[in-house]
Amino acid sequence: MTATTAQDQIRETIEKNDVVLYMKGTKAMPQCGFSSRVAGVLNYMGVEFVDVNVLADADIRQGIKDFSDWPTIPQLYVKGEFVGGCDIVTEMTLSGELDQLFETKGVTFDKAAADKIRAANA
């Protein structure tokens, strides 16, 4: 597989799915704490998302870093737009910005669950 193929594959995945998380492991079996945290937030908020295990494919693992110009995994994409990694997603969850992003982009999520996360971290 060439680098362009990895880039094409990434672009296609991001364009075809509303919410995509490039992570280490899967949403059922995360293999790093940061990936686990972001997948946990999305799962808890009831967001439907596609998980891409970067550990399963070295080309994708490097390709996603090049694609987003972001050095770390996990990486969250919403409606084709790069949102960020664990720290950014955590901050956005706590500030309510993630709710606003999902609302603006028309992504279904559980507002009460999002409020619970904020209450627990207040």
What's the predicted TM-score (pTM) here?
0.94
CATH classification of the domain holding 25: 3.40.30.10
How does pLDDT run along the chain (122 residues), one tens digit per residue?
555 799 999 999 999 999 999 999 999 999 999 999 999 999 999 999 999 999 999 999 999 999 999 999 999 999 999 999 999 999 999 999 999 999 999 999 999 999 999 999 98
Count structural domains, the chain: 1
Return the structure tokens found at 78: 């919403």
Mode of pairing for the β-strands spanning 81-84 and 19-23 = unpaired
Domain that residue 105 falls in? 3-120
Which pLDDT does position 89 carry in this prediction?
A: 98
